Amino acid sequence: MVKVKDMFYACATEENICKAGECGGAVTALLKYALESKMVDAVVAITRGADLYDGVPTVFTNPADLVKSAGSLHCAPTAIGKFIVQYMNGAKDMKIALPVKQCDASAILAAAKQGKVNRNNILMIGLNCGGTVRPVIGRDMIEKYYGVSPDDVIKEEIAKGKFIIVTKNHEHKEVSIDELEEHGSGRRQNCQRCDIKIPTMADLACGNWGVIGPLAGKATFVEVCSENGAKLMEGATNAKAITTQAPDPKGIEMRAKINESMIKLAAKHQKKHFSEAADPAFWASHFSKCVKCQGCTVNCPVIFDLKLKPMAFEGMGDIPPSMGYHMARLAALGNNCINCGMCEDGCPVEIPLSRLYHEVAKRIGQEIS
């Protein structure tokens, strides 16, 4: 019987899922089983759009179609949590399974606290996340640092501290993440600061960290984090949708060490980014560029109903707005910022908004914890 906190090495049993998926395709196989067994009514997952840099939230109701969602898309980050609220009625009238990064899972939990999502109808398969890359940055860095056309890349992944690409000519190239980030490329800054790498707030936490020996690269490390996760693992195993075995004890230790080292690295990035922005003049300079488009609010997966209207004393069309305009949004966000970076993605003048919101959320969390 599968229990909470159990750990496994897991692989899909279907050959096409193994081939298309990452690390043995266990995540895709679990999602497919959840749909086949009627545990859920639909699966929402990110699929490739026009290219590797275009992620499309896709609703699946036919289990056979789920193989289309297999594989990684680090250069196509999407706020899937907000999609559930806006387009799936917050899972209030149907059960939904979905793969989530920690920020996606945190967004869903924050929306549930606001009554925007029925958490009981959501089955989350968490994905260990070392970070994502903005699409434009991804295309530019591949051309500049890898010497290939970004349109020729058919696969990418982040592993062992490197960003790895595979071209349509089956050429493998890799560059150190540290090297890329030293030159302003690589992962988004919010991802560099993120200190939640294993999403144990989901029902299952899955990834390749800790898979060693003959199954390295061919199986997924799965940690069971809830009763629903245990039910999914047990059902999928009994139905032979996946095969499982106990993880190597050294693999469990390695997974914990990788997680610990990445959290320490995130703390260093937090110190660096927050220190750079400590001078009020830093924010005065950035906020002077604000055009009041509210792209930060529209893209935020935590704030849904905020309408920042011009005050009578401010005047219609006054640009830039006063600092109080930004403080109002910051007050509304409070410590609910999940550091997803979507506010920055939506800012046409590239204000590093998540740096401020993340720091404030960390400070509030520290004060009230």
Residue 178 falls inside a structural domain: yes
Distance CA 45, CA 84 (A): 11
Residues 210 and 63 in one domain: yes
Amino acid residing at 313: F
Same domain for 24 and 54?
Answer: yes
Mark whether 221 and 181 lie in a shared domain: no
Residue 134 CB-density burial (10 A; 0-12 exposed, 13-18 middle, 19+ buried): buried
**Does 2 fall in a domain?**
no
Q: Is residue 271 part of a domain?
A: no
CA atoms within 13 A on the CB side of 335: 8
Interval 212-249: pLDDT, tens: 999 999 999 999 999 999 999 999 999 999 999 999 99
Are residues 92 and 157 both part of a single domain? no
350 φψ region: left (φ > 0), alpha (ψ -120 to 50), beta (else): left
Domain boundary residue, one of 144, 161, 186: 186
- Encode pLDDT of 120-152 as tens digits: 999 999 999 989 999 999 999 999 999 999 999
pLDDT (tens digit per residue) in 6-50: 999 999 999 999 999 889 999 999 999 999 999 999 999 999 998
- Is the pLDDT reported for residue 369 higher than 50? no
pTM over 0.85: yes
What is the per-residue pLDDT for 77?
Answer: 77
Residues 245 and 140 in one domain: no
Domain stop point among 159, 186, 213: 186
Q: What's the total number of domains in the chain?
A: 3
pLDDT at 208: 94
Q: Which of 239, 135, 261, 244 is closest to 188 using CA atoms?
A: 135
Of the residues 186, 201, 219, the one at which a domain ends: 186
Write out pLDDT tens, residues 249-293. 999 999 999 999 999 999 999 999 999 999 999 999 999 999 988
Is 43 within the bounds of a domain?
yes
Residue 272 lies in a domain: no
CA-based nearest residue to 139, from 126, 152, 128? 152
362 or 305, greater pLDDT: 362
Domain interval for residue 290: 277-368
76/55 Cα distance (integer angstroms): 5
Q: Are residues 117 and 159 in the same domain?
A: no
